[in-house]
Amino acid sequence: MSMTGILTAAAVVGIVGIFIGLFLGVAGIKFRVEVDEKEEAVLSVLPGNNCGGCGFAGCAGLAAAIAKGEAEVNACPVGGDAVGKKIAEIMGVSAGSSVKKVAYVHCKGDCDKANQDYDYYGVKDCRMLSFVPNGGPKSCNSGCLGFGTCAQVCPFDAIKVENGVAVVDKEKCKACGKCIDVCPKHLISLIPYEAKQVVACSSTDKGPITMKACSVGCIGCGICVKACPKEAIKVENFHAIIDHEKCVGCGLCEQKCPKKAIVKL
């Protein structure tokens, strides 16, 4: 190839390169997506678990909502107050106060305390039990099925099954709510981390029915209501409910409960 040909080829490549560079530069300016600096700053302090416990599609979704004023600065259950305060500084607002919460499985009807109507040998997934008689083999239709579907979805390894009942490790739990969403019996709820006593039962059956199904089920007798000096307990649908804001942890409800359905945390 002659020198003229080489120079021509080099010139063509150079011109094409310059043209492509100019095109990309103009396209970058024209189609540039504006980035909210506050949103990026908020995202940088979020824990990045993308658990969805805040109600948004991952940490990016929450960061965008906070930046737009559509979510509270302390909406991240995993980050808690520490992250909430950092986000509040970024947004220039007050973080306020939030109560640390953890998940709790309202059932203590394990293999030794709860009766069974039959033996089950099917798929070991709690969600599948809605297709079998009485919603599962346990006599109590509100009891924990014990197949650990909640443990499988927990991103923090905070749940394990002990003797047929799921148990939450409050020190590992980040209150993301995934276990609550997946439980077909709806017997998992978020309670204050500092809660002293809790009703370890979800049954709303009448007393005689509950007693036949489980030896530690709440029978809605109301003895705990009478024993509480702070009026922190009420009975609804044959089931005791503790108001944790009123409860002072005196333990009288636990002591008086004839079925030992109220436990100390």
Predicted structure pTM score:
0.78
Residue by residue, DSSP assigns 49-83 as ----TTSSSHHHHHHHHHHTTSS-TT--TTTHHHH
pLDDT, one tens digit per residue, over 246-256 is: 999 999 999 99
Q: Which fold has domain 195-265?
A: Alpha-Beta Plaits (3.30.70)
Q: SS3 of 15, please? A: helix
The dotted CATH code for 37-91 is 1.10.15.40
Task: Write down the domain spans for the chain.
Answer: 37-91, 99-193, 195-265
CATH assignment of 99-193, among 1.10.10.60, 3.30.70.20, 3.40.50.720, 3.40.50.9100: 3.30.70.20
Residue type, 118: Y
Cα–Cα distances in angstroms (integers) from residue 251 to residues 113, 217, 256, in the given order: 23, 18, 9
**CA atoms of 132 and 157, how far apart (whole Å):** 28
Q: Give the containing element (helix H, strand E) for 41.
A: helix 37-45
Confidence band, pLDDT 50/70/90 cuts, at residue 6: low
Cβ proximity of 221 and 203 under 8 Å: no
**Degrees, nearest 5: CA angle 23-27-31:** 175
Per-residue pLDDT of 81-129, as tens digits, reads 888 888 888 888 887 777 889 999 999 999 999 999 999 888 889 998 8
CATH topology identical between 37-91 and 195-265: no
